[in-house]
Amino acid sequence: MGRKETKKYLEGYRKSMARAQHLRGQMAAFAASAPSISREIEECIKQGGIIEGLIISHSNICQREILLRKYVYGQTIEKIAEELCYSPRHIQRILNTAVETLGARLN
């Protein structure tokens, strides 16, 4: 999987979790369709868990931390750089390497 596709896949974590939260809110209003909404929530949570597990299993601690901050916690490159005392460019390089490594694992 290429870097672009891998990034899109990793961004699916926050999208899946946001969708699950949105659907939970809709469940009360649409009780009749609750079973299908429940199934979709479970699928979203399952997908998020798979992505989070992939990131957590990454062997490089620095890359893992940056992947978590970017794709799970939704931090910007600038915020990550500030908190880890690196330049944004350096964080971007580490992130690019991490994404490429994960992409190779997804193939």
pLDDT score for 75: 97
pLDDT score for 43: 93
pLDDT score for 27: 74
pLDDT score for 1: 81
pLDDT score for 57: 94
pLDDT score for 39: 87
- What pTM does this model have? 0.73
The residues of the chain scoring below 50 in pLDDT are none
Q: How many CA atoms lie within 13 A of 90 on its CB side?
A: 9
In whole angstroms, what separates CA 86 from the centre of its chain? 22
